[in-house]
Amino acid sequence: MTTTRQQTDNSVRFIFFVIALASISILFMIMFFLFMEGMPIFKKVSVYQFIFGTYWYPTSSPPDFGIFPLIVASISVTLVSAVLAIPMGVMTAVYLAELAHKRVAEILKPIVELLAALPSVVIGFFGMVVVAPFLQDTFGIPTGLNLFNAALMLSFMSVPTICSLSEDAIYSVPVALKEGSLALGATHLETLIRVILPASISGISTAVILGMSRAIGETMVVLMVAGGAAMVPSSLFDPVRPMTASIAAEMAEAPFRGDHYYALFATGIVLFLFTLLFNIIADRISNKYRQIGEASL
């Protein structure tokens, strides 16, 4: 009996090991292909000129392969969307988990989760048809397809992820902690701020990481509503062109294994490295908050 159970455990462990190994192998193959197709461009242009060059004209003669405006656009759109999405997502989660009446929460939660099911092209279409004319008329700007519009649409996409995972983290806080705080005379608000949020801060940090990861890698929305101008923005209402939008818009037109083709793959390398760096930093922040939350309890 014991031998059979050990064999079963070993078989299950081996299956999970194979699945994990396959996932890691696929990731490394994608990385290898990305670097293989992107590195040849650095025979024509230096890494410094490619990253810090301010002109992106890959079809001109001679071509300019400077992606600094694309990098600034990606970072700007992500940061502005984070400023909008993180407070909305976390505060909505707190309301649904701790403040809303049970029947109200049962109605609102499916609505919030329904936003996560909306295709990105639908959100982009909404930004083009509804939000862009509104911004243009309200602020008197030349075009409503700009950095702020893109960040607003990305925040709509990130809020459901942040809200759902943050709510789960708040629900996972032991009831005994909450009851103990209330028993010691703390109000509901004090219990929420000093007990529940510190105990769930690690899960909330993870929710923020996943939400912002979706924002930084989104393509269709920024392609439709960011404006498509490869320039360094000077205000929130300037049109921009993030790296994802540039890759999606130009890859079909780039000659196979040409300089333009290699430059787009090199842009993908930079985007990959930015995403990797973002996840490493976010993971460290999450671990830090986990330790803070455990210490505060």
pLDDT for 295: 56
**So what's the pLDDT on residue 42?**
92
Do 144 and 255 fall into the same domain? yes
Residue 168 has a pLDDT of 86
| 10 and 136 assigned to the same domain | no
CATH number at residue 146: 1.10.3720.10
Amino acid 118: pLDDT? 84
If residue 6 lies in a helix (H) or strand (E), which one and from where to where?
helix 2-38
Query: Which pLDDT score, from 0 to 100, does residue 52 have?
Result: 92
Instruction: Judge if 257 and 273 occupy the same domain.
Output: yes
Q: pLDDT digit string (tens) for 245-280?
A: 999 889 888 888 889 999 999 999 999 988 888 778
Joined together, the tokens standing for residue 95 give 């309301």
Element (H, E) at 65: strand 64-65
Say if CB 271 and CB 244 are below 8 A apart.
Answer: yes
Check residue 238 and give its pLDDT: 92
Residue 71 has which token pair?
A: 């990098």
Whether 26 and 103 share a structural domain: no
Are residue 38 and residue 159 in the same domain, yes or no? Answer: no
Could you tell me if 93 and 55 lie in one domain?
A: yes
Q: What is the CA radius of gyration of the chain?
A: 23
User: Taking the model in full, what pTM does it have?
Assistant: 0.85
What pLDDT shows up at residue 2? 59
Amino acid at residue number 152: L
* 65/18 same-domain check: no
**pLDDT at residue 292 in the model:** 53
State residue 21's pLDDT score.
93
Here the tokens at position 198 are 């510190």
Q: Are residues 214 and 284 in the same domain?
A: yes
In terms of domains, do 63 and 176 share one? yes
* Structure confidence at residue 291 (pLDDT): 56
Distance CA 146, CA 133 (A): 11
| Total number of domains in the chain | 2
Q: How many whole angstroms separate alpha carbon 65 and alpha carbon 146?
A: 23
Q: What is the pLDDT of residue 36?
A: 93
Whether 259 and 179 map to the same domain: the answer is: yes
Do 58 and 11 belong together in one domain?
no
In the block, tokens 């030349």 appear at 142
Q: Report, as ranges of residue numbers, the positions in the chain whose pLDDT lies below 50.
A: none
**Whether 116 and 189 share a structural domain:** yes
Give the range of the structural domain holding residue 79, as residue numbers without chain letter.
47-296
pLDDT confidence of residue 1: 53
